[in-house]
Amino acid sequence: MNIVIAPDSFKDALSARDAAAAIAAGLKRELPDAILHQCPMGDGGEGTLDALLAATGAERRTASVQDALGREATAAWGWHEASHTAFVELAEASGLQQLKRDERTALYSTTFGVGQLITAALDAGARSLVLTLGGSATNDAGAGMLAALGARLLDSRGQPLPPGGAALCDLATLDLEGLDPRLASLEVRTAVDVDNPLLGSHGASAVFGPQKGATAADVERLDRALSHFADHAADALGEDFRELPGAGAAGGMGFAARAFLGATLRPGIELVMDQVGFDDLLAEADWVITGEGQLDGQSLSGKTPIGIARRAERFGVPTVVLAGRLGEQWQAAFEHGVTAAFALADGPITLDDALARCAELLSDRARTLARLWEVGTR
C-alpha cells in the first residue's frame, strides 16, 4: 500500500512537517508495511517556504527585517543559485503566527519586512522571485513592502505615512520614482491561497481582518483606506487591479504584487504541487491524506486540502482530510474531490487543549483511518 501524506500546517499548533510526521506515526502503528510518502505542503502561508526548499534543494538564508509590528527580527528566505531564483514567504517576515494573540492589530501591522526580504534577494542577484502569500498579520495592501523597496507614501503635509493599513486613508502622494530599479527585470510569481478581491464584503479587510484583530468598525475603516490606496495606485499606474481574484490575499499583498511588481498570481497549492513533483507521487498512490486547521466553504478558494483533492481526483486517488475543525459548509468539499473528512477533537475540548494535543489527535485519527482501510480491503 502506497500512501501520500500531504498536510498543510495546523495554525498555532504544528508545522506541515510535524503534522505529516504525526499522521505517519499513527498509520505505522496499524499498517507497518505501508509505503508512506511524507510530503509537507503549503498554499502560500507559513510552511510553504520549507516545502519549496525541500523540493528544489534551494539554500536557506536569513535576513534581518522588521516584523509586522516594526520590531527587529530574523526571517528566512530561499536562494537557488543555478536558476538565480529567490523564494520569499510573507509569513516569515510579517506572519500572524509570530505575534501573540493580544498583539494582533490589522490597523497598524506592516509588510515592510517583506520588502526587506525582496531587497536581500535582489542583492543576491535574483532574476526570478517566487513570493508566497498567506498567514499574514497585515492589512496594508503591500504599502509597507513598497516603502521598503523605495517608494514614498506621503500625507498632505509631505510627511511619510506611519505603518499600517489604517494610515492609507491619509495618503496624498504615491511616489514610485524611488522604487528599486532592479525590480523592472525581476520575474515575479506569486502564490496566493485565496481568490478574494481587494475590497468589499469578500475583500481582504472584511474576510480576513477579524482574525488579525480587527473589529467591525476597524474593517470599515480599513476597507475605505485600501480603496483610497487603490485609487492612487490606479492613477499612478494607469490600470486598476482591485477586482483581480487574489488581490485580497494576505491583506491586499496580492494587489501590490500584481500592481507594482508585475507578478503573475497563481493558487499557491498548485505552484507548490508542481515544484515538489506531486503528480509523480499520485501516479503510484493508493490513498492521500491531507489536512489543516479548518475545513470549510472558504477552503474552496484555494486552500491546500481542496487543491490536493482536485489534483488527486484526476488520478483516481481517494483523498481524506483531517481538520482541526469542520466549519460552515465543509460538506461542499465532497464536490471537489474530497472522499471523506474528519475533525480531530475526541470530545468537548478547549481551543488551547486542542492545540496542545494536535499531534496526538492527528495520530489517533490516522490510526482509525488505517483500521478502516484494512477492513475495506479484506
Task: Take residue 162 and report the three cell numbers written for it.
Answer: 506611519
Residues 19 and 7: beta-carbon distance below 8 Å: yes
Q: Examine the pLDDT at 301 and tell me if it is beyond 90.
A: no
What is each CA distance from 160 to 105, 144, 171, 313, in whole angstroms?
A: 20, 11, 9, 51
* Segment holding 66, helix H or strand E: strand 59-66
Those residues with Cβ within 8 angstroms of residue 93's Cβ, 6 or more apart along the chain or in another chain: 65, 66, 67, 68, 73, 75, 111, 113, 114, 116, 117
Q: pLDDT value at position 268?
A: 87
Distance separating alpha carbons of residues 244 and 42, to the nearest angstrom: 22
Q: Examine the pLDDT at 28 and tell me if it is beyond 90.
A: yes
Q: pLDDT value at position 5?
A: 97
Reported as a single tens digit per residue, the pLDDT across 331-341 is 999 999 999 99
Average pLDDT over residues 335-360: 91
Q: pLDDT value at position 320?
A: 97
Average pLDDT over residues 29-49: 90
Q: pLDDT value at position 146?
A: 98
- For the chain, what is the mean pLDDT? 94
Reported as a single tens digit per residue, the pLDDT across 45-84 is 778 898 888 878 899 999 999 999 999 999 999 999 999 9
Residues 51 and 18: beta-carbon distance below 8 Å: no
Q: pLDDT value at position 225?
A: 98
Higher pLDDT: 299 or 334? It is 334
Share of the chain above pLDDT 70, in %: 100
What amino acid occupies position 117?
A: L
Closest CA to 184 of 262, 255, 272, 82: 262
Bridge partner list, 183: none
What is each CA distance from 76 to 61, 69, 188, in whole angstroms?
A: 6, 18, 18
Reported as a single tens digit per residue, the pLDDT across 85-107 is 999 999 999 999 889 888 999 99
Q: Examine the pLDDT at 120 and tell me if it is beyond 80.
A: yes
Q: pLDDT value at position 11?
A: 79
Q: Examine the pLDDT at 151 and tell me if it is beyond 90.
A: yes
Q: pLDDT value at position 135?
A: 87
Q: Examine the pLDDT at 302 and tell me if it is beyond 90.
A: no
Q: pLDDT value at position 244?
A: 97
**What domains can be seen in the chain, in order of their start residue?**
2-41+287-376 (3.40.50.10350), 48-268 (3.90.1510.10)
* Segment holding 309, helix H or strand E: helix 304-314
